[in-house]
Amino acid sequence: MKSGEIEQLIHLMSKLPALGPRSARRAVLHLLSKKETFFIPLIQSMQSVLDHVRSCPECGNMDTCSPCSICSDPNRDKGQICVVRDVTDLWALERAGVFRGVYHVLGGLLSALDGIGPDELNIQRLVDKISQHPATEVILALPATVEGQATVHYLTEKLESFPIHISTLSRGVPIGGELDYLDDGTLQTAFNARRDI
Amino acid sequence: MKSGEIEQLIHLMSKLPALGPRSARRAVLHLLSKKETFFIPLIQSMQSVLDHVRSCPECGNMDTCSPCSICSDPNRDKGQICVVRDVTDLWALERAGVFRGVYHVLGGLLSALDGIGPDELNIQRLVDKISQHPATEVILALPATVEGQATVHYLTEKLESFPIHISTLSRGVPIGGELDYLDDGTLQTAFNARRDI
Per residue, the 3-state secondary structure of B54-85, as one string, reads EECCCCCCEECCCCCCCCCCCCCEEEEEEEEC
Residues 77-116 of B with CB under 8 A from A: 86-88, 91, 94
Q: What is the pTM of this model?
A: 0.81
pLDDT digits (tens), chain A, 197 positions: 577 899 999 999 999 998 999 999 999 999 999 999 999 999 999 999 999 999 999 999 999 998 999 999 999 999 999 999 999 999 999 988 889 999 999 999 999 899 999 999 999 999 999 999 889 999 999 999 999 999 999 999 999 999 999 999 988 888 888 888 888 888 888 888 888 88
Q: Which residues of chain B lie closer than 8 angstroms to A87, CB-CB?
A: 29
Q: What is the CA radius of gyration of chain B?
A: 21
Distance (Å) from the alpha carbon of B197 to chain A's nearest alpha carbon: 35
Sign of the Cα torsion A144, A145, A147, A153 reads positive
Torsion of the alpha carbons at B143, B148, B153 and B155, rounded to the nearest 10: -80
Domain ranges, ordered by start, for chain B: 4-52, 79-168
Strand partners, B103: B82
Residues 20-49 of B with CB under 8 A from A: 23, 25-32, 35, 38-43, 45-49
Q: What is the pLDDT of residue A1?
A: 54
Integer angstrom CA distances of residue B180 from B149, B184, B186: 25, 10, 11
Architecture of domain B4-52: Orthogonal Bundle (1.10)
Integer angstrom CA distances of residue B40 from A53, A54, B9: 13, 15, 15
d(CA B193, CA A179): 51
d(CA A29, CA A17): 19
Is B29 in contact with A69 (Cβ distance < 8 A)?
A: no
Q: What is the pLDDT of residue B25?
A: 92
Residue B9 in contact with partner chain A when CB distance is under 8 A: yes
Q: Which string of b and e fits A60-86 if b means at least 16 CB within 10 Å?
A: bbbbbeeebebbeeeebebebbbbbbb
Fold of B79-168: Dna Topoisomerase Vi A Subunit; Chain: A, domain 2 (3.40.1360)
DSSP one-letter string for A25-51: HHHHHHHHHTIIIIIHHHHHHHHHHHH
Task: Report the residue from B12, B19, B63 with minimal CB separation from A18.
Answer: B19
Angle at which helices A21-33 and B40-52 pack, to 10 degrees? 50
pLDDT digits (tens), chain B, 197 positions: 577 899 999 999 999 998 999 999 999 999 999 999 999 999 999 999 999 999 999 999 999 998 999 999 999 999 999 999 999 999 999 988 889 999 999 999 999 899 999 999 999 999 999 999 889 999 999 999 999 999 999 999 999 999 999 999 988 888 888 888 888 888 888 888 888 88
